[in-house]
Structure 1
Amino acid sequence: MTANGDTLREAFTAGPPSPVTFEEPTAALINLVVYAVLSVVATGGLAVAYRWYFKQTVPEGVSGFIGVSVVALYINTTSLGVAVSNVSVDLFEPGVVFFNVVALSVAAVAAPVGRRLGDAVSSNLFSLAGLREFEGEVGTVVRSAGRVTTITLPDEIADMESYDPVTDETKAELAGKTLLFPRRLTVDELRSRLIERLKEDHAVGYVDVDVTANGTVEFLAVGSRAAGIGATIAPGSVAVAIRADPPNNASPGDTVQVWTTEETPERLTTGELRGVAGDTVTLAIDDDDAKLLSPTEEYRLLTMPAEPQADREFATLLRSVDETMGTVTIDAGSELVGLTPRALNATVVAIRPDGEKLMALPDRDRGFEAGETIYGLGRPDVLRGLEERAKAGGAEDAESETDEPAAS
């Protein structure tokens, strides 16, 4: 008892521990393992909190900063305890500095591990516990073998036509991945939650998927949302950058007139202000007016009164929902010949007869003819089913073309 008491007394009176160096390999290895675990725990907890609050994966830079900061704070706290104690230690000794640099490097390497573990745990946990309860027998319930419904994504993931493709890394990460969902979901509910998971967890812009009553994914295609100014330029318009003195309080979206700066000013064109950087102004103007402007000349802009921009508001809204625009050309012998826009699940916003001008908002009781191009608005799977029906002898996609309205 006396020996044990002396040992405890020495431990409590020895003061703070001395800084660790590689002169003691065992102690150095133990401390590095502790720092790695500390970084993993900190970044994992951050990933869970970030997923819960923002519904997104925490950025790599933020998680790496937190993982390194936690270890650095621990090292600084320990060093401060040594500095104020009676122990005489040179904190700037090369061996101490070298060990601290290695410790921070280990924390930086361990941070991505904690980020991935925390995000993987939180995505499945919140999917099971944080979603709305099932209400009533609305449709066919997906058959589940256990307490949860498991969905395994196919090994081959296609690209959606007319959309920017996602990266190969994202498709490789999705291929064969198994996701967990609550049981007792209808096919439509499971499909909606699967699309939501893919968009939130993997930053996928568009998803086209077919899910059976057994919870099997028969088809999966993904696409990314168009980014940049090009996606918002209407046909027949171009974006140009000119040197100009932007009018006071002008902001992107304002309608402006472009005038020369000569003694007798002349109005050259009217466009939409898209961006300002110093004296460089980006405008969206008609294609034919682009030749009137010079990249070396300086112009003066005049702001026009505000006007409703319902078309632009609709385009902005369309980019944020599942529905999208697609075109389908009707083959001779297609089952769509003779049908009307009223008979389709997709919303027909325009028809272009073969060799003729575009007809916007056609009569809903007008019959389709072979060779016509349909401009439809609907979910990607609805448009895909419409493409199949437009082919000669194409069969109707039973799930895509139902009597239910497209989900918004």
Structure 2
Amino acid sequence: MTGLAAFDTLLQSMGGLGSVLGIPVRSLVNAAGLAVLAFALGGGIGLVHRWYADQTVPEGLSVLVGLSGVALSLNTDFALAQVIDDQTAILALETAVFNVSVFLAAGLTAAAGGRAGDRLGAGTFALTGGDRVDREVSKVVRAVGRVVTVDLPDTEDIGDIEGYDPVPPETKAEFGGATLVFPRRLTVEELRKRLVERLKTDYGVGQVDLELDEDGVVEYLAVGSRESGIGPSLPPGTAAVPVRADPPHAARAGDVVQVFRPAAGESGPERVTTAEVRGSADDTVTLAVDEAEADAFDDTTRYRLATLPIAARADREFASLLRAAEETMGVATVAEGSPLVGVSLGGLAVSVAAVRPAEGAVEAIPSRTRTLAAGDTVYAVARPALLRRLEAAARGDADAEPPLADAAGRSD
């Protein structure tokens, strides 16, 4: 108010010129002050949004906040003018032009303030260590407890999963020792699932064996890769071979066919093998065959295919599904003194596909009430973490805890 009073005194000292210029100059000063207010409000919301969400503030939000402050200021001025000075020219042409001009200027300055506040926040919070935490959130956000961080083991402490191709060392180096950020209020199991998904999606890891303690700290981490393309859907012991052939009418992927090689003379076509169609494009057909028969094909012969009646291939279907799932199969032999002796199969937190006793035939899909004895070999399907516990308990390792069903929620 002191500045405006001094400005009015200066205009009065100018005489007639001051009275002519007083109204427009004063309006310009008021408009500039409201534009500065909009810039400050837009910059403030940009700074807060960068701190809270670590994202650029939407331009519409900064403009809305800036205009809200300007509108509140104008309404307060006009209300006081009516009550104190009994001025009723709110809807006068000069007032309308002034309001529209102020709102246009305030909208532009609020948008600029939002961008300035965002840049200030990005630079400030980066200095606090935000970029070192996977570029997801700043240290300020972590300090107020809205997220939880998980530190991964160093590269040399990350193991390989047996039965899967090893992950390249350079891939392990990308996430070895990294700190990943997740939302709070996740259970240990939810945190484990999200961490496994992050490793698979962000780093292209095919299989993850992960154990967390009750505080969410990584106790064990092993990874394995899975070949891309048709490889993961092929059962063990088979290979995919492309051949030149005319695919049978209506043949689809998964159909079983007999493969014939044209023979010279009157001997007729020669049967090469029985295969499974995996795909076709023009005159090229991809066949799944046993590895031992893959060398029987060449790229110069045009083969003939004959579709066979549909036959169930439970072994291949099971192997394909197993390789595409998170679970895998493990085998463990129960030793003397193992804590598994006397435990029923239904009490285990794994799916038992078969049991081979020390003497006798293999029992496929055994009853859940069957109890284990020393010498039994258990074929189980579960996540690698549970299989490692099963194998340790079967060997009778010290402090080994068998994966019991009542503890599955905590162990998973």
TM, length-normalised to structure 1 = 0.55
Instruction: Report the 3-state secondary structure (helix = DSSP H, G, I; strand = E; otherwise coil) of the residue aligned with 2:406.
Output: coil
* Separation (CA, whole Å) in 2 of partners of 1:279 and 1:348: 44
Counterpart residue identity of residue 372, structure 2: F
Instruction: Give the corresponding residue for 1:273.
Output: 277
Rate the CA distance shift 1:124–1:385 in 2: closer, same or farther, 3 A: farther
Residue aligning to 1:339:
343
State whether residues 256 and 302 of structure 1, in contact with CA within 8 Å, keep that contact through their aligned partners in structure 2.
Answer: yes
Q: Secondary structure at the match of 1:339?
A: coil
Distance 1:367 1:150, change over 3 A: same
Provide the C-alpha distance between the structure 2 equivalents of 1:356 and 1:287, rounded to a whole number of angstroms. Answer: 32
Structure 2: state its 5+ residue gaps: 1-54, 56-130
Mapped partners of 1:256, 1:181: distance in 2 = 50
Asked if the contact 2:232/2:323 (under 8 Å) is kept, the reply is no
Write the mapping of 1:281-360 to structure 2, written as runs, cut at 5 A: 281-285=285-289, 298-306=302-310, 312=316, 314-354=318-358, 358-360=362-364
- Residue 369 in structure 1 maps to residue 373 in structure 2: yes
Match of 2:176 in 1: 175
1:185 equivalent in alignment to 2:223: no
Note closer, same or farther for the CA distance 1:290–1:201 as it changes in structure 2 (3 Å cut): closer
* Alpha-carbon distance change, 178 to 240 in structure 1, aligned in 2, over 3 angstroms: closer
Letter in structure 1 aligned against 2:208: V
In the superposition, relative to structure 1, how do residues 302 and 202 fare at CA in structure 2: closer, same or farther (>3 Å)?
Answer: same
Counterpart-to-counterpart distance in 1, 2:301 and 2:360: 41
* 1:240-280 C-alpha deviation (Å, 9 max, x unpaired): 56554332443432211223535444655432123556656
Q: What is the 5 A alignment of 1:358-397?
A: 358-397=362-401
- Residue 183 of structure 1 aligns with an amino acid whose one-letter code is R
In the TM superposition, what whole-angstrom CA distance separates every residue of 1:146-205 from its partner, at most 9, and x where no partner exists?
232121112221112222211212212222211112222222222222222222221222
Partner of residue 166, structure 1: 167
Within 1, Cα distance between the matches of 2:360 and 2:299? 38
Q: How far does the alpha carbon of each residue in 1:130-152 deviate from its partner, in whole angstroms, 9 at most, with x for none? A: xxxxxxxxxxxxxx982321211
1: CA distance between counterparts of 2:237 and 2:359?
A: 19
Change (3 A) 1:359 1:288: farther
* Range that drifts further, 365-374 or 240-249: 240-249
Asked whether the equivalents of residues 233 and 284 of structure 1 are also in contact (C-alpha less than 8 Å), the reply is: yes
Tell me: CA distance 1:331–1:345, structure 2 relative to 1, closer, same or farther (3 Å): same
Show the counterpart of 1:67. Answer: none
Letter in 2 for 1:385: R
In structure 2, do the counterparts of structure 1 residues 299 and 375 end up closer, same or farther at CA, with 3 Å as the change threshold?
Answer: same
CA distance in 2, matches of 1:239, 1:147: 50
Q: Would the alpha carbon gap of residues 240 and 356 (structure 1) be closer, same or farther in structure 2, given more than 3 Å must change? A: farther
Whether the 8 Å contact between 2:233 and 2:323 is mirrored in structure 1 is no
Cα 1:266/1:201, change in 2 over 3 Å: closer
Query: Residues of 2 paired with 1:200 and 1:308: CA distance?
Result: 34
Counting matched residue pairs gives: 275
Is the CA contact 1:388–1:395 (under 8 Å) kept in the aligned structure 2?
A: no
Q: Does 1:403 align with 2:406?
A: yes
CA separation of 1:242/1:351 partners in 2, compared to 1, >3 Å: closer, same or farther?
farther
Q: Decide which moves more: 365-374 or 208-217.
A: 365-374
- Identity across the alignment (%): 49
CA-to-partner distance for each residue in 1:267-307, whole Å, 9 max, x for gaps? 55432123556656443345787798777765311123455
The answer to which of 203-212 and 358-367 deviates more is 358-367
Q: Which one has the largest radius of gyration? A: 2
By percentage of residues, which structure has more helix? 2
Contact 1:322 1:379 in 2 (8 A): yes
1:103-130 CA-partner distances (Å, limit 9, x unpaired): xxxxxxxxxxxxxx8x954x669xx9xx
1:56-135 → structure 2 map (5 Å cutoff): 120-121=134-135
Give the letter for the 2:204 counterpart: A
Amino acid at match of 1:300: R
Instruction: Give the Cα–Cα distance (whole angstroms) in 2 for the partners of residues 355 and 151 of structure 1.
Output: 48
* Runs of at least 5 residues in structure 1 that lack an aligned partner in the other structure: 1-44, 46-116, 129-143
